[in-house]
Structure formats: C-alpha cells, structure tokens
Structure 1
Amino acid sequence: MITLINNPVQLKRELLKVVQKELKDEELKVAKSDWHSRRKPIGCGLTIHPGIGCPMQCSYCYIYDMGFSVHATPYSLSGLQLVAALLFNKYFYPTRWGTYLAFGSVTEPFLPNILPKTLEYLKAIVEYLGNPCQVSTKMVINDENVDKLARVGGSKLSILVTVTSLSQYVYLERRAPHPLKRLELVSKLRRKGFKPFIFIRPLLPGLRAEEVDEIVEQAKASGAYGIVVGNLRLSPNIVKRLISEGIDVTKYLRVDLGKLKSGFVDVRVDGDTQTLIRERALSKGLIFLRRACCANTVSQLLSGYNDVACPSLCFLNEKVCEKSCPSQCKVKAGGEPKQFNFHEVIREVLGFDEYEVEVEGHTMYIKLKKPLRDEKSASFALSYLFRRRIRFIYE
C-alpha cells in the first residue's frame, strides 16, 4: 500500500491511479457502476457483499423480503475490482482510520461456495486499502480455512459468531450449523490469534434467564473475548414466521404493524434482557458491547492499535456506548485529532484554504467564507475521518 498514511484523502486518489493502471477499461466500468461504489456506510460500516443470497433461511432473516434468493451466488467483482469500486465511492476512505468494512449483510460469508470470494476480497483490502474489516457468520469452517483466514485477514480481523439461542435454534436456524459447533469455531479462532465475539443478533425478546446464563457460560468456555447484542429487523413476513415458530414478538414489543407494511423496522430489545446479558457477561470477565462496530474497534485495540475509535460516533450516545468498553473512544476522540495532519485533510475535502477551525470537546467548528458544493458529503467525510462532530459556520 502507498505510504501516504497521514492523508487518507490523498492516499485514496493515489491508490485509484494505481488500480486504474492494473484493470482493463471494461473492468473499471463495471466496478464504477457497482453498488459498492455508491453505498453509504451504516452503523457497522460499509457492507461488503462477497455473495448474494443464502440457503439457511433463518426465521428472523430480512434478506428474502429484500428479494434475495435462497441460493447463494459468489459476487461478480474480482478483488481488485472491489478495491476500485470502493475507491470510486465518495463515502469511502482507506487506512485503519478510514471506513469500517462489514462482510455479510445479504449472504453468509463462510458458505463453501462464498468463502473463496470472501478470502479474495479480504486479501485485496489488506493489500491495497488497510481498512478495519469485520465478518459475521453462523458457518463452521475447518482448520485449513481458519489458517487461510489468518493469512489474508490477520489477527486484527474482527469475527462475530452468531448465537441467538441454544434451545430454539432448531426452529429459528434449522439449516445453520448447531450453535455448539459454532462455539467450537470460536475456540479455533482464538487459538489462531483472532479476537472473536459472540453475536446475539438478533436479540430476541423473551430470552429466558437460564438461557442467557448458558450462552454466557458457553461463550466464556469457548474463548470468546466478549458478547455483542444486535437489533431485530422486522417486516410483516418476519413477524409471521417468528409467530409460526412459537415466538410472538408482538407480546414483548410495541410493534406498529402499520409501519411494517411499508418496509422494515429495526427494533432494539432493551431493558431487562439486555441488562441481564450485560451483568452475566461482565461477571465472567467478558467484554459486553451494544454495536458491531464496537467489536471491530476493540479487535483493533487488542491487536495493538491503541488510538482507534468508532467512526460512527456511537460513543457520544450514552444509551449505545458501553461504559466498560476497553476502547474508551469518547476519551480518545476529544480535542484536536492527532492521527494525521488534520489541516491537510480539511483542505483536501473542502477543496480550498479559506477556513478557520475551532475544536471544542468532540465537535469541530469549521468557519467558511464561501459555500461548499456538497456540504453533506464533506461533513460526512470529516466526521468519519476525525471521529468528531462537524459543524460548518458560514461567515
């Protein structure tokens, strides 16, 4: 990777020049028109699709309502084309201080026919971009593939192994590997130097205290570093499927079925269930987190990168940021950014020198003497790179 780390905006431009020389015109055209070149990051990062579709058909899964198939197909882009698509994306920036990348979303990244593409993409990202990557999975892979994963992703690759239930998995995830087999994968990953977390996503309402205890016990025994809880995404079809499997979410959650008719609603199961999981996890010496991006950040931290902080600014929300999290992003993200020359980055993003900056706590106030062509994109880029709120003031 080109070593212009102190300026990820300039690095992005230089990397694109390199990639454009290595790809044919038609390959570049396909990469530039791909969704990876336009997609905006969400809480966990910018989603990377090594495939589309999934045969597991978990009862709570949302991808089938989005039109995806029960047949998984490897994604068409090559690893280098994916790199190009990301570099064409105005919301993407390279380096470990750039955009978090999350593998999964609309497929299972470790399915036998998808895993080669996942490995190809990870290798290309590590070689050219250096962004923090995260994979969420229910699959079980053998030692040989764990070794391949370690070679291409390195120990700082964040891996979330999904376990939603130990008693009802046969109804919820009947085509997925047994949860105890997934926990065996956690042990393999730990032995190879990874920092695996158990991912309780979705956190289903009505999870009994006894089952919480068992999940936490198994997580500890497997060698997981911690537990992450995640949202439940609902649609009319998902509600019906869950009810048919004996989980009537409407008994536990205030669900506006009228809103569901027009799309998805993300529901966070707060209150007693989440509090119980937190208490049990911390009592066993496990890390407890409420966001997938936090696990990615902690994986970087545990790999020796002590200055990392979540780019989504989740640490500014007390309901989301876990006080016991070892990263302590809120402390690290105060004052002037120190990870690179922030004036160089501001000039690159704004496109001019006529500005003044004041930093107060976690907010950067940027005074401008002329309007920006794309204020939203500039604000997003600076906020993401600096891990600060951005406020433009026109004089």
Structure 2
Amino acid sequence: MAIEKGRGATLNGGSHRFNLRQREADGDWLDAVEHLDGPVPRRRTQVTVEHPRTILTRNASPDIGFSQSINAYRGCEHGCIYCFARPSHAYHDLSPGLDFETRLFAKPDAAKLLRAELSKRNYVVAPIAMGTNTDPYQPIEKDWRITRDILELLVETRHPTFITTKSDRILRDIDMLADLARDRLVAVMLSVTSLDPAIARTLEPRAPHPLRRIEAIRQLSAAGIPVTASISPVIPAITDHEIEALVARVAEAGAREVTFIPVRLPHEVAPLFRAWLDAHYPDRAAKVMAIINDLRGGRDNDPDFGTRMRGQGVWADLIRTRFSKARKRAGLGAERLTLRTDLFRPPEGAQMLLF
C-alpha cells in the first residue's frame, strides 16, 4: 500500500451510502499506472469557494453542549484519520478519505451572513461554537482569514463564542480573544491527542506539533483566556498509555479543565481507520479494533445518544477511571465556566438601531 507523505488517510475510496463510485481493478493500464509511469504526484490542496445562503447551524443533540455553530470550512487539511467529520464529504460526491484532506471548501461570506443573522429582530443570543465539524484554524485560514473576520464581528457585537481547535494558529487572534475574555464571552478548547511526535505525524499529519499546542495553551491562559484541553480521541493501544501524562502536561500549561472521548468511527471513518492501522500499526491492528468493538457494544461505532461520547463496558470504565484520577491529581474540575449573553448589541447598521 502506497502511503502519501503528509496525509492521514491511506485510501480515497467512495461511499456506499451515497453511491459515490469507487474504481475497482479491472485489468487495464490504470491498475499498473505507478509501475508504468512512476509514483503518482503528491496531491495538492484545492479550495473551492462556497456561497451558502445562511451560516448558522442549529443543533438539538442532547449530548452536545451548544445550540448553534459556524463552520467556515468543509474538509480539513490537518488530515486526522479519526475525524468524525470525514463522512460529510460524501454529500459532495467526494471521498471521506484523501479528498476530505485535499479538496476543501471555504465560505468567505461567512461574516457577512452572520451579520445578517445577528441583525434579525427575533435573534436569540446563545454562544456560537466554532470548530465543531472542521478546524477553524486549519492551514488555509492563514490566507482566507474567515475565522478572523467572524471574530471581529463577535467582538463588535459582544457575542459569546466557544472555539475548538488543534492549532496554535489561534494565537494570531489572541488580541480579540483576550478582549472577549475580559467580559466572559469566550472559551477555547485546544486538542492535544498525543505528546509523541511519531504518533502525531501519522495520526494527525498536518496539525501543529504537540508541543506547539501545549505552548498555545500556556499563552492563551497567560492572556486570561479560559482554556479547556481535550485529549480526544483516546485510542486504545495507540494513545491510551499517555492519559496521565497528557492530563498533567495540559494542567501545568494552564488549562482550567480537560475532557476526553473514546475514539469514534462513524460510517466511512471505520474502514479508513482500519486501513490506517494496517499501514502504520500492523503489529497491533487486530488488538486495537477488538478493544474498540468492546467499547462500542460489539460494533465499530456506537451512534446512540448518551453512550456514543462515553463508551461502555470494561475498557470504557478503565479509561474513565484513569482519566478521573489523573484529573483529580492535576487539580482540575473545580471550575464551571459559563459565558455571558447579556452584553450583546446588534451590529452597527442593523435596522433595529435606527429607532
């Protein structure tokens, strides 16, 4: 199996759910293209501009702690093999595999659309979550700056927001985040899945080095911005041995809280993850999947509310116990953070300000 350097997925297969066609070997020259023409050129990231009519997504899931969110991008160049958002690419007749990492969509009108939403007379203020599907600070944000445009509007309107990322690129916007934090209008969750660079390089190949993320936690915390660290996903026999070290490290850096979720493998993520295991951890692939199946009630994935975020069975209990003890030793868990909603003011130029 050819592994493309700098990419997470080892496959670019189709989706049986949406009839996305997947090429099968049929004896023609394409089956031997690499042998005939040499290695296939590395994929370059392509970005397609998307013009949605609205930008806020509403959520009513009982085990997710936000009611509305914004996703500035579809697809994610970080290439995390475990990403639960991968299956969404099948809706575009693209593969949840390498296409998800290389064929991205950007929404440059996001801030403009949000301004229109916040200007409505019947708008009800609730924290807007960013980074719930794909990372708002993935590499293309450097040039597109869509997340920064959104943040500028949130600062202007004093609107609360939750931000989830695994990139230290968030430090670029520390000025605005500190401004919001002074009024208890922002909370950041920063993901650190492993402290081992060798694991990180294959698990999340284009995400920043783990130590850069630890440093981002430190700088955000020093600026007065409340940071929760996520060590999700915990992957049995791959990253679970790091639970205690991860919790201690993020606490030392200034995280106010830490969370975890056992690895989830919805839809096309499961076969992609299995292929990744075969390529990078063939010595333990069967063991990893056996534990995951035990965690998920005998399946690759558990989609049920209530258990999908926690897992079940002996392995889930063991991971949860270890995490709880590590968290307690680190002195975390005493603080409950809520964001203010009473400071919101509609955008300048909104119709309601004319009266």
The TM tier, using the shorter chain, reads: 0.5 to 0.7
Q: TM-score, normalising length from structure 2? A: 0.61
Specify the alignment match of 1:93 in structure 2: 124
Displacement of 1:53: 1.9
Letter in 2 for 1:117: I
Distance across 2 between alignment mates of 1:41 and 1:89: 22
1:258 Cα deviation after fit = 9.5
In structure 1, the residue matched to 2:328 is: 282
Name 1:332's counterpart in structure 2: none
Q: Percent identical across equivalent pairs? A: 21
Match of 1:184 among 215, 233, 240: 215
Residue number among 53, 65, 81 corresponding to 2:75 in the alignment: 53
User: What corresponds to 2:245 in structure 1?
Assistant: 214
Which residues in structure 2 correspond to 1:290-369 (within 5 Å)? 298=337, 300=339
Q: Which residue identity is paired with 2:330?
A: K
Deviation at 1:273, TM superposition (A): 0.7
Closer/same/farther in 2, CA of residues 35 and 241 from structure 1, 3 Å limit: same
Deviation at 1:254, TM superposition (A): 1.8
Shift of 1:267: 4.5
Q: Is 2:317 aligned against 1:271?
A: yes
Written as runs of structure 1 = structure 2, the 5 A alignment for 1:230-269 is 230=261, 232-243=263-274, 244-245=276-277, 246=285, 247-248=288-289, 249-256=292-299, 266-269=308-311
Deviations for 1:48-91, whole angstroms, at most 9, x for unmatched residues? 1122221112111122211174244432324242132356698x
Unmatched tracts of structure 2, length 5 or more: 1-50, 93-99, 278-284, 343-355
Query: CA 1:153–1:162 in 2, change beyond 3 Å: closer, same or farther?
Result: same
Q: 2 CA distance for matches of 1:111 and 1:171? A: 17
Cα distance, 1:155–1:41 mapped onto 2, change above 3 Å: farther
Structure 1 residue 175: Cα displacement: 2.0
- The alpha-carbon distance between structure 1 residues 80 and 122, as it changes in their structure 2 partners (threshold 3 A), is same
Alpha-carbon distance between aligned partners in 2 of 1:110 and 1:77, rounded to the nearest angstrom? 17
1:106-255 to structure 2, matched below 5 A, reads 106-114=133-141, 116-128=145-157, 130-141=158-169, 144-151=172-179, 156=184, 157-167=186-196, 168-205=199-236, 210-230=241-261, 232-243=263-274, 244-245=276-277, 246=285, 247-248=288-289, 249-255=292-298
Q: Highest relative contact order (Cα 8 Å, sep 6+), 1 or 2?
A: 2
**Does the Cα contact within 8 Å between 1:209 and 1:276 map onto a contact in 2?**
no
Instruction: Give 1:102's match in structure 2, choosing from 129, 145, 163.
Output: 129
CA distance in 1, matches of 2:242, 2:78: 23
1:50-89 → structure 2 map (5 Å cutoff) = 50-67=72-89, 69-70=100-101, 71-85=103-117
Q: Give the Cα separation in 1 of the matches to 2:328 and 2:302.
A: 36
In the other structure, the counterpart of 1:39 is 58
Does structure 1 retain, via aligned residues, the 8 Å contact 2:77–2:138? Answer: no
Q: Distance in 2 between matches of 1:175 and 1:134?
A: 23
- Structure 1 gaps of 5+ residues are 1-29, 289-294, 309-338, 340-395
> Structure 2: how far apart are the matches of 1:41 and 1:114?
28
Whether the aligned pair in 2 keeps the contact of 1:51 and 1:72 (CA below 8 Å) is: yes
Following the alignment from structure 2 to structure 1, what is the Cα–Cα distance between the partners of residues 301 and 153? 44
Q: Distance in 2 between matches of 1:102 and 1:162?
A: 15
Whole-angstrom CA distance in 2 between matches of 1:65 and 1:209: 25
